[in-house]
Amino acid sequence: MQKQGSEQLEVWAPTSKQPSLRFLISIAAEQEMHLHQMDVKSAFLNAELDEDVYIQLPPELETGGDRQVYQLQKAVYGLKQAPRAWYNKLKDLLAGLGFKQSEADPAVYFQFMNGQLEIILTHVDDLLIAAADLNRVQWIKEQLKGLVDIKDMGPASYYLGMEISRKDGKILLTQHKYTRELLEKFSPMGLRGRDSPLEDKTQISRTAGVKLTEEKASKYRETVGALMYLQTGTRPDLAYAVGLLARFFQSPTELHMDLLTSVMRLQPTVAVSTMEAEYMAASAAAKEALWLRKLMCELQVSDKPVHIWGDNQSALCVLKDPISSARSKHIDTMHHFVRERIQMGQLTYQYISTADMVADILTKATKVAVFHKMRNQMGLVEWE
């Protein structure tokens, strides 16, 4: 067992974010980029260690009398510093090819060659390369082959559990394989198909239905955890329902199991009014929007303001007019930065009618027709 010491000061290593992958896919579609994938073989074994790390072999591997310790020259799997060492190694390799690390997402690397954008998205040992010039893609791959033992996967078709396909100038992200395997594992417990995750105005209590056996309850929890990846990857329309059902982890019932379809993350704070809830939601959306805008500016895709739409007039008034009232004066100052960003021209916040609020299916159960309408507007499609 590795013992903690001064050699373990830096063990964290960044990996690419889901939004970064979707952003790269959208840029590749818009700019007609080629997308290729590579997989580094035994990635951690390629990384040199900056610290002095010693290991002791198991007794059965010792050949002499006294037990000896050995100094590691390179990282090995199971070493806490291994991910960080590989991250530093890969960063140096890509820098040597002219790529600059993004400040918005340290797992994204980019450069401009002859005025054209080239991007490499990294996730531990998986690399996704995007460039409009196929010859440049091939050149990058050949250079990497000369630096590390790496497998050329060709045009990207399956990345981090998601299928990538192209049709009519569009790029589609799906999780058919992941979903199929999940359903095959879950269906014996009685999953039923439906037109929307939850029926409109569905009410669920902690005690509704017969309590599950411990074996089924464990499977319930396992499935909710697995569905989180599906929801964050390609099915945001499922966000509300299982987020609601995830509250019943402690003692799920047959009703909860029957309604299990998706997952969402619960908000960390509780609002005391509709206006405050909308204001706080705008703050959370602004943080993500500003991060996306920073990445777009770095890659010289766009420096225009990011638009945020809301259907609460009171929140819109507070955002545009810095007045104080009994309803707004207690809102934490951490949420007021969105107003400052609007004034700086980095964001806009505009009104949209509730009938056109796409985000509603992420926060509540709706009628089937509304659910389908909002899902289509979100960009989710059936791909034949």
pLDDT in tens, 51-65: 788 877 777 766 666
Report pLDDT for 289. 86
Nearest to 34 by CA among 43, 25, 46: 25
Say how far apart CA 123 and CA 130 lie, in whole Å: 15
Residues 6+ apart with CB under 8 A from 228: 263
Report pLDDT for 83. 87
What average pLDDT does the structure give for the chain? 80
pLDDT at 28 over 50: yes
pLDDT at 156 over 90: yes
The residue that leads in pLDDT, 199 or 119, is 119
Residues 169 and 228 occupy one common structural domain:
no
Residues 72 and 154 occupy one common structural domain:
yes
**Confidence category of residue 272, pLDDT binned at 50, 70, 90:** very low
**Mean of the pLDDT values across residues 67-94?**
86
181 in a structural domain = no
Out of 174, 202, 226, a domain closes at 174
pLDDT at 269 over 70: no
Residues 251 and 218 occupy one common structural domain:
yes
Share of the chain above pLDDT 90, in %: 26
301 in a structural domain = yes
The residue that leads in pLDDT, 74 or 144, is 144
Report pLDDT for 41. 93
Beta strands in 115-248 (DSSP E): 116-123, 126-131, 150-155, 158-159, 162-167, 170-174
184 in a structural domain = no
Question: What is the DSSP code (8-state) at residue 3?
Answer: P
Report pLDDT for 251. 83
Q: 34-40 and 150-155: which strand pairing? A: antiparallel
pTM of the model: 0.75
Report pLDDT for 1. 53
Residues 6+ apart with CB under 8 A from 69: 54, 55, 56
Residues 194 and 262 occupy one common structural domain:
yes
The residue that leads in pLDDT, 197 or 129, is 129
Say how far apart CA 120 and CA 140 lie, in whole Å: 10
143 in a structural domain = yes
| Cross-strand bridge partners of residue 155 | 36
- Listed range (1-15, 226-240, 323-337, 341-355) with the worst mean pLDDT: 323-337
Share of the chain above pLDDT 70, in %: 80
pLDDT at 190 over 70: no
182 in a structural domain = no
Report pLDDT for 265. 28
Residues 283 and 337 occupy one common structural domain:
yes
Out of 142, 174, 206, a domain closes at 174
Among the ranges 142-156, 158-172, 208-222, which has the highest mean pLDDT value? Answer: 142-156
Residues 43 and 140 occupy one common structural domain:
yes
Residues 82 and 166 occupy one common structural domain:
yes
Report pLDDT for 330. 46
Q: How many residues does the chain have?
A: 384
Residues 259 and 286 occupy one common structural domain:
no
Give burial (CB, 10 Å; 0-12/13-18/19+) of 79.
Answer: buried
357 in a structural domain = no
SS3 143: helix
Residues 83 and 132 occupy one common structural domain:
yes
Report pLDDT for 202. 65
Report pLDDT for 334. 52
Report pLDDT for 131. 96
Give the phi and the psi of residue 351 in degrees, each rounded to 5. -80, 145
339 in a structural domain = yes
**Mean of the pLDDT values across residues 8-28?**
81
What is the tally of structural domains in the chain? 3
Report pLDDT for 273. 45
Residues 114 and 28 occupy one common structural domain:
yes
In this structure, are residues 120 and 109 in contact, taking their beta carbons and an 8 Å threshold?
yes
Report pLDDT for 121. 96
> How many other C-beta atoms lie within 10 A of the C-beta of residue 114?
8
Report pLDDT for 346. 87
For residue 259 the two structure tokens come to: 């309604």
Report pLDDT for 341. 81
The residue that leads in pLDDT, 226 or 336, is 226
Residues 298 and 212 occupy one common structural domain:
no
Residues 244 and 372 occupy one common structural domain:
yes
- Listed range (39-48, 146-155, 342-351) with the worst mean pLDDT: 342-351
CATH number of 163's domain: 3.30.70
180 in a structural domain = no
Out of 120, 141, 174, a domain closes at 174
Range(s) of the domain holding residue 331: 274-352
pLDDT tens by residue, 323-365: 544 444 545 555 567 777 888 888 888 888 888 888 888 878 8
**Confidence category of residue 287, pLDDT binned at 50, 70, 90:** confident
Report pLDDT for 263. 35
- Listed range (19-33, 54-68, 201-215) with the worst mean pLDDT: 54-68
